[in-house]
Structure 1
Amino acid sequence: MAQRREGDAMIDEMRRLLAAVPRWLRARPLTVAVVILLIAANVLVRVLDQVLGTSLRTDLSSVSAMQTTTGRALCVPASMLISDRWMLVVVHVLLTLVLLGVAERRLGWLRALVGLIVAGLGGTAIGMLLLLAGLHVNEMWSLSLAAQASSMMWAPLTGVLLAATGVMNVFWRRRVRTVGYSVLIALLLFGATPGHLYALLAAVIGQLLGMWWGRDRHVHVVGRSSHHEARVLLATLVAVLGVGPVLTVFSAVPLGPLAPLGLLLGEGDIDISGSGPNSDHLARCLASDQLTGCLHEFSVARVSTISGIVVTILPTLLLLVSAYGILRGRRVAAWMAIGINLAYSLLSLWYFLIGPFLIGGLSLNHHHGIGEITFVLLASALAPLVVSALLVGGLRHLQLRPSRRRLIGAITASLGTFALLSALYLVVGVVRPGDFTPQTSFGALLADLPERFLPAGFLGLTRPGFLPAGALSGTIYHWMGPLTWLVVIVSSISLLQVVPPRSERAARAKVDDLLLKGGRSLSFMATWPHNTYWFSSTGRVGIAYRASHGVALTVGEPFGAENEIDAATLEFVRFCDDHALVPVFYSVHDHCRDLLAAHGWSSQPVGLESVIDPVHWQTKGKRWQDVRTAINRAKREGVTDRLSVFADLSLATQLQIKAISEEWVSEKALPEMGFTLGGVEQLRDRRVRLLLAENEDGQVLAVTSWLPFWRDGRVVGWTLDFMRRHPDSSNGVMEFLIARMAERLQEEGEAESMSLSAAPLAGLDEDDGSALSRLLAAISGALEPVYGFRSLFFFKRKFQPEEQQISVVYPDASALSSIALAVTEAYVPGMRLDQLVTSLRRSEATSDVSPS
């Protein structure tokens, strides 16, 4: 039965998708028209070629920059439609449906048409002019590419897609631009065809168009990214530029780590065994000091074995491993990527410039000087340097570190393998010098040692001092590099598996168990990252806290067995005293405050929690007018609510939630708060419920998350945490969701309480002149323009809640400065002391000014 239901669900989903196709096509008339034009144009030229015996397909499918000077400039627009092979036509059609379809949905058909024409033709025209200008001055890159015919299909499509980013939300704008420019730059650096240059220029023109069209949305302003989104962007950048060298295999102008593989793929007479027709030429090159004319043979020799290919590809694989680690928040992965990119830059300069030309005396083409070559190489080395700089700047988004044991193990395995194989290589070379041709020496072996571990592409302008002639020497010579890289990759994969220590995993499991026994509205936040856990001597009560500046700042109050809460609270105080920590109970209710006050502690209100009784929920009366209006508007506009968990939502819905959240984060001047306000990462817990507002087309208009709290294993309440709304959604959608959650809980009949949580640092006593009160007011004042806690506090009053005071409770006033720093560190990680003092001074200056 279950399988049958799943099959029926799949059939229904397929029917729904098929039914949506006509609607999708009707909404994109320009895309449909361009696809029809593509197919018709390619069919027409092939028919004319068959009937008239012409070569229109070949003549119109690609145009070089030099050909435009001989009267073929008018063929450029046609080359954006005509493809030489049917496979390329299919690719072109698919790219048009995807890229132009996305752009037209955002821009409308008229602006999309303008983007296609202006960006496509503009980028191609500027690119051709640059190549012709370079050709006029004998610029080396232009000499290679100006005569090369290239397909123009990329330029209009990338141009219109980048134009559409001007009206996209920040989530998709960042992703499309990051992926788009990364791919285009990688294609240009490593693929080196004129079409890639035209596409990059078209993308720039398209983005400028989009920024003009979206100027009222202020999309050109660079906003803040969430930690997750920053990791996605960094990982994408590393992966795309890491794979870029693969393109040199197929490039007409190969220059890079994998360039010699292109020689293998392009040479039909190369024998992997090394005994092919070119082996005599290779022997003559090794026996002489000749370099010019032998570079081709040397490059082929280095990749003419399986081991040569492997050692050339493995560093790229390590970059992909690093990209995956960055995506998962591993800081060590960023350092790996930084190291590889820096090595790529330095090795390129050494092996392509300093070694062969400045030291080796390699002769230059008479058209080019050392200055021009230096400029080209510096430009190609700039990309990995930029990636490294971005990774250093993004380290704060990568919080997970490997254990010391794993780190030492990975370093030991990698360096140990390198040292062992290097020693073996030197020993064999010294003991059996005749196993190499020509006979080698210890100095020559030592000089050659680094090249055993480098991709062959870096060695394309250098000559090998010798080659192995025996079986043993050949095995070591060829395989020491691949084996070392394999060990490094395996060690890196192990290093990226950041598994919490057994004690931490046990602590988290115990926290989950104690939460089921009993907790308050904020207790579930104990499961969030960056918390430290303490358990009572009986093991039946737990406390989550964050230690900083000598303060143990609790995340809410103790949780677990209710009859042991008081004793555990005092036991935790003694624990902190034994460990030289100042215990501070933050966001606790009256019972905990009164218990500690009886022992001489001081307290300060930090907010008011808004609590609703779902059992007696109703919206009658004048005071509920705003809530009723929101509910009625939602019904009129076809807005519905859906209760789910994040993992059960479709990928499209999850991406919409991330996009809405990223738009919200980008508008903030400060980073996401992970102390008492959750983000997208906290939605992934299956115990957290999501209530979404969606329109008839399935677009997410708003989303809320609800955290459970238990008593004796039974859920007794839900706490509102995550609140995000689409910027284009109508007013009242959030009121609609909160009201619907109350109605749902009333229908379920299990929850005793529904907390709208407390707006942090809102509702403070303005008449309290104590030092801590002024400090908290300063923090609140600094955060208010960014997060609007006071506005949120008054918004919740629409639901006529019961307001319960929550407080911070501390032992004495002597530690107020440390407490203020700990609270600031919890809410705004990285905020410096001078910034806090400045905020305090501004707050005090404002309070000293009395109205006239």
Structure 2
Amino acid sequence: MVAVMDTVQAATEVTPAPQPKRRAARWDIPGLVRRRTGTLGVTLAILVVSSITIATQSTFEAGLFDLRDMLLALVRVDDPLVLAVTVLLTLVTCGLAEGLLGTRRMLAAFVGGGLVVCAIGEGIGLFEDNVIPEVSLNVTPDTGAPPIAALLCVAIAASCFASPLWRRRIRIGGVVLAVTMFLYAASASDLYTLIALPVGMAAGLVLGGTRAVGIPRSSLREKRVLLAALTAITAIGPVVATLWGSGAGVLSVYSWLSYDPLNVADGVVCAIGSTNAPCPPSASVYAELQPASGWIAALPQLVLLIAAWGVLRGRRGALHLAVGVNVLTFAAMSILLLLSETDTLEQLATVRAAYDVADVWQTVVGMVVGAALPLMVAVLLVRFRAAAQIRSIPGVRRIFVRTVVVAALGSLALALVGILMTSAEFRPWPNVTTVLATLPLRLVPPSLLPPEALVFVPMTGAAQAAWYLPPLLFWLSVVVAAVRFVVRSGAAETAPDRERARALLAAGSGDTLGHMTLWEGNVYWFAADAEAAIAYRVRGGFAVTLGGAFGPDRDDASVGAEFAAFCEEQGWTPVFYSVDDAERERLAPLGWSSLQVAEEAFLDPRSWTPAGKKRQDVRTATNRAAREGLTSRWARWSELSFFDRGQIRDISEAWVSDKTIPEMGFTLGSTDQLDDPEVRLLVARDGSGRITAFTSWIPIHRDGTIAGYALDVMRRRDDAMPGVMEFLIGQAVERLREDGMTVMSLSGSPLARHSTGDDADRSALDRGLDVISALLEPAYGFRSLANFKKKFQPDFAPLWMIYPDATQIPAIAIALVRCYIPGLTLRSAAEMAASLRRPREAAGR
């Protein structure tokens, strides 16, 4: 056993033929310079022009549509720190783009696209100044397009030549960056950056890139990346508005929320717009009472950032936390909008003239948009919540809620006692009724309080402590509670049961789906009087199992009956799904119906060879791989480099984007399971070292040991060598034989069967499954997959669904679809059905 496991854990190179010994890797500096001459030229131009500008401290205003000035603007910055950042961005952006576009096209995108951006920006500036001068959406663009606009134009153009994964990431990242800066900061540079998006897209198409302008379908992992980015932007945006905002952006109103509504006017503490504590009408000098109080309002944004990290890691609780904070932000902005009065806004605009505030109507519009934005984000998070599948432990949720409630009660108590003890130091003096009525406001960050709601203000240091300290302590407690909640939510609700199930599987046996029972989303039932367990998911009142029982006592016939009794006690209908012949026989005493739902292909690595006429494709693929220098390597996810992992995700995302239905789970694996230390990867590399295809393999447990491996994920690049999968599977057989394995599964092919009988003898349900299989074929190719496996001349074994009542088949089918596609709604199901019909109709024509 130890020897076998040591062999299994070793990751070695497997090659179809002896390869020449490679020299140690070294940096090819001259070659790199030759391949990136355009990048180095652009970087040098920025360094020279910007250094002269900084050294001479010259100011710059582009001449209207002056070509020389417009060109200089593309390579000119006037701040040393900005220059350092710009040089780094240029090396990365142009360097990567030059690899995709080539030198000439990259330079064309930078220079040509930048000039077009500059011209459009100056045209918009003329329009704003002469047609809508009263509408201020940004600082007037009169300095020419900055380097960042040209770089974004290059990046978007390069996305037209990138893979689906990076095409989506580049475009969404560019849109988020440009829109965020334009809405929150709204400097002249930000308008140019926004214009660079369509210009870059047009440049990419003109230069010969793909015309796929839509957002391709993404995997669950990539959806989490996008949702996390969206959540993070809503957290960072207000900070951008505060630190870098020009005051002219639509969402510049968020910068106002960093101001303390309490002022010191001619030595008197007051609140502009307050009825009970107004500022002196003749005051000439205004100052914030506590300028640092605005940082308290940053704490809810920090909670959002923590939630974004949790969403990225797949935590459902973190997603709910992000939804909650966004809903609270929507409510706060709505209340602020309803309570704000025009004359108060006008007076605030006068006092805060340093922010170049535009007309009052723009502030009102900003409040409306500022309230709608978090609501929209919350709706999107709820809509795509299925991407975050890891549920938190109930105890962790209770601790989080308890911490927030205790912190709220403690802060309110502190505020109540503090204000009552120092009541004489407030203006005007508040009675107990007034203090109690306004007590909930003490949990709101001070800078978010509408002036109209302030009925008394603190005058002395002690009174100010009672005013500012409670919200600070409350939100600090929420931040700490959020960190604990998100981190501890990494343990799924079934984590203790999963470890118990893992131990049973390792000590006993399971079917070829046994290792899939350890995936996220499964719930476990454990036999009371036997060492056996069953993994299942409850959907629509049906408890759908993932394979049969596993563990040392999986052959005990009473296990299935006990599970069925358990389900009946819970009010569920048990459905044993994808069970093998042995499990079907053990369940026979139940007297239930059975339906073949898949067939599994087995090979014996000890005896299988590529010899024989019917296995010619395997031999051809192996020979071609040897000629083309294709190699294969066994490894685990942790042993792969960062770049190798990126290539694998790239291949997988390209595969998902081509599908007309969402990525499926349950008995179908994805890249989410590749980081399991028990999963082995077999990757194929071409002569340049690029990964062109990969397969993943999950262990098959027999009597307390790993007896073999089952094929799980199998994906390749579009330009991979024909027959690369035949080559990889042939290599897998050889390796498993060397490791002493006795079984190898090419996994089950859903809705596919190896026909051996008369079609007339088949039931209506069997023929119905054939119809469903034909419907799904254009999307997932289950039949094509089954035919591919026949090339290896395997032994086929049926997989069954055992169910109690045939009249429930339609409801069971819906439950199964919900197992395979979590979060499927009625609308998305209708859209999916329509997308599946279109390929068939097209084929019919």
Matched, 1:591 2:577: no
- 1:683-702 counterparts in 2 under 5 A? 683-702=674-693
* Mapping for residues 214-363 of structure 1, pairs under 5 Å: 217=210, 219-251=212-244, 253-254=246-247, 255-257=252-254, 280-282=266-268, 289-290=278-279, 297-298=286-287, 300-304=288-292, 308-345=293-330, 347-348=332-333, 351=336, 355-357=340-342, 362=347
Q: Secondary structure at the match of 2:544?
A: strand
2:39 paired residue number: 31
Confirm or deny: 8 A CA contact 1:131 1:146 kept in the other structure: yes
Q: In structure 2, what is the equivalent of residue 396 of structure 1?
A: 386
CA distance in 1, matches of 2:80, 2:349: 42
1:818–1:101 distance in 2 versus 1, CA, 3 Å = same
Amino acid of the residue matched to residue 38 of structure 2?
L
The equivalent residue for 2:503 is 512
Work out whether residues 168 and 216 of structure 2, in 8 Å CA contact, stay in contact via their aligned partners in 1. no
What corresponds to 2:63 in structure 1? 68
Cα displacement (A) at 1:799: 1.1
Counterpart of 2:477 in structure 1 is: 487
Mark the CA change 1:213 to 1:604 in structure 2 (over 3 Å): closer, same or farther.
Answer: farther
Tell me the CA shift for residue 30 of structure 1.
1.5
Letter in 1 for 2:400: A
Question: How large is the RMSD of aligned CA atoms in angstroms?
Answer: 3.9
Alignment partners' CA distance in 1, 2:771 and 2:233: 45
Q: 1:648-689, CA deviations, whole angstroms, 9 ceiling, x for partnerless residues?
A: 211111121112111211222222222211111111210010
Residues in 2 aligned to 1:841 and 1:502: alpha-carbon distance in whole angstroms: 36
3-state SS, counterpart of residue 68 of structure 1: coil
Structure with the bigger percentage of helix: 1
Cα distance in 1 for partners of 2:223, 2:212 equals: 18
2:610 to 609, 619, 622: 619
Residues 433 and 439 in structure 1, CA contact (< 8 A), matched pair in contact too: yes
* Higher alpha-carbon deviation: 362-371 or 230-239: 362-371
Structure 1 residue 569 displacement after superposition? 3.6
| Amino acid aligned to 1:793 | A
TM alignment of 1:450-849, pairs within 5 A: 452-455=442-445, 458=448, 466-496=456-486, 497-498=488-489, 500=491, 504-561=495-552, 564-576=555-567, 579-597=570-588, 600-748=591-739, 750-763=740-753, 766-829=759-822
Q: Which of 190-199 and 439-448 deviates more?
A: 439-448
How far 1:616 moved relative to its partner? Answer: 1.8
Q: After the TM superposition, which of the residue ranges 187-196 and 424-433 deviates more from structure 2?
A: 424-433
Aligned to 1:115: 109
Q: Secondary structure at the match of 2:63?
A: helix
Residue deviations 1:387-416 (CA, integer Å, cap 9, x gap): 233223222222333344443443343244
Task: Give, as a single letter, the amino acid of the residue that structure 2 aligns with 1:789.
Answer: F
Contact 1:606 1:762 in 2 (8 A): yes
The CA deviation string for residues 394-444 of structure 1, in whole angstroms up to 9 with x for no partner, is: 222223333444434433432443344335434543564321245445576
Change (3 A) 1:558 1:185: same
What SS does the corresponding residue of 2:606 show, helix, strand or coil? Answer: helix
**What SS is found at the alignment partner of 1:684?**
coil
Change (3 A) 1:440 1:16: farther
1:186 to partner: Cα distance = 2.2
Retained in 1: the 8 A contact 2:510–2:702?
Answer: yes
Deviation at 1:344, TM superposition (A): 3.9
The alignment-based identity, stated in percent, is 33
Q: Distance in 1 between matches of 2:583 and 2:167?
A: 47
1:802, 1:777 → 2: CA distance?
Answer: 21
8 Å Cα contact 2:595-2:801 kept in structure 1: yes
Q: Which moved more, 1:187-196 or 1:79-88?
A: 79-88
Bigger drift between 824-833 and 624-633 goes to 824-833
Q: 1:314-352, CA deviations, whole angstroms, 9 ceiling, x for partnerless residues?
A: 122111111112112233333333343344455446547
**Whole-angstrom distance in 2 between the partners of 1:399 and 1:780:** 27
Letter in 2 for 1:400: I
Q: Secondary structure at the match of 2:58?
A: helix
- Is the 8 Å Cα contact of residues 259 and 447 (structure 2) preserved in structure 1? no
Query: Is the Cα contact below 8 Å between 1:179 and 1:237 reproduced in 2?
Result: no
Q: Contact 1:429–1:442 at 8 Å: present in 2 too?
A: no
Instruction: Write the mapping of 1:90-101 to structure 2, written as runs, cut at 5 A.
Output: 90-101=84-95
Cα offset, 1:726, TM superposition: 1.4
Q: Which amino acid aligns with 1:635?
A: A
> Which SS does the other structure have where 1:58 is aligned?
coil
Contact 1:607 1:760 in 2 (8 A): yes
Give deviations 1:119-163, integer Å, cap 9, x for gaps: 322222222222332223564564972287587111100111011
Once the two structures are superposed, what CA deviation does each residue of 1:277-297 show, in whole Å capped at 9, x if it has no partner? x88445598898447897983
Matched residue SS, 1:19 = coil
Distance verdict in 2 for CA 1:20–1:319, change over 3 Å: farther
- Measure, in 2, the Cα distance between the counterparts of 1:556 and 1:143: 60
Number of equivalent positions: 801
Q: Give the 3 Å change call, closer, same or farther, for CA 657–285 of structure 1 in structure 2.
A: closer
Q: SS where residue 615 of structure 1 aligns?
A: coil
1:206-261 deviation line (CA, Å, top 9, x unaligned): 1233356566x452233322111111111112113311222234336244445576
- Mapped pair 1:210 → 2:210: no
- The structure-2 alpha-carbon separation of the partners of 1:141 and 1:81, relative to structure 1 and needing over 3 Å to count, comes to farther
**What is residue 267 of structure 1 aligned with on the other side?**
none
- Contact persistence 2:426–2:457 (CA under 8 A): yes
The equivalent residue for 2:123 is 129
Deviation at 1:787, TM superposition (A): 0.6
* Offset, 1:303: 1.9
> TM-score scaled by structure 2?
0.85
The residue matched to 2:181 in structure 1 has which SS? helix
Partner amino acid, structure 2, of 1:374: V
Partner of 1:268: none
In the aligned structure 1, how far is the partner of 2:441 from the partner of 2:497? 48
Preserved contact between residue 707 and residue 743 of structure 2 (Cα < 8 Å): yes
CA contact (8 A) 1:258 1:312 kept: no
The unaligned stretches of length 5 or more in structure 1 are: 1-14, 50-54, 265-271, 845-850
* Alpha-carbon distance between aligned partners in 2 of 1:739 and 1:222, rounded to the nearest angstrom: 36
Q: Is 1:190 equivalent to 2:151 in the alignment?
A: no
1:181 and 2:175 matched:
yes
| Structure 1 residues 253 and 114, CA gap change in structure 2 (3 angstroms) | same
**Aligned with residue 163 of structure 2, among 149, 164, 169:** 169
- 1:220 to 1:142, Cα distance in 2 relative to 1, 3 A: same
Q: Classify 1:364/1:485 alpha carbon distance in 2 versus 1 (closer, same or farther; 3 Å).
A: closer
Q: Helix, strand or coil for the counterpart of 1:537?
A: coil
Structure 2 residue ranges without an equivalent (≥5): 1-22, 838-843
Distance, in Å, in 2 between the alignment partners of 1:237 and 1:541 is 44
**For the residues of structure 1 that align with 2:549 and 2:835, how far apart are their CA atoms?**
36
686 and 374 in structure 1: CA distance in 2 versus 1, 3 angstrom threshold: same
Which moves more between the two structures, 139-148 or 184-193? 139-148
Judged with a 3 Å threshold, the aligned counterparts in structure 2 of structure 1 residues 179 and 295 are, in CA distance, closer, same or farther, namely farther
Q: Give the aligned partner of residue 17 of structure 2.
A: none
Contact 1:152/1:198 (8 A) holds in 2? yes
Q: 2:82 and 2:830 mapped to 1: Cα distance? A: 63
Cα pair distance change 1:81/1:575, threshold 3 Å? closer
In 2: Cα distance, 1:775 partner to 1:348 partner: 54
Please report the TM-score for the alignment, with normalisation by the length of structure 1: 0.84
Q: Which has the higher contact order (CA 8 A, sep 6+)?
A: 2
Cα displacement string for residues 499-541 of structure 1 (whole angstroms, at most 9, x for unaligned residues) = 6588751453234333442223222111122222233333322
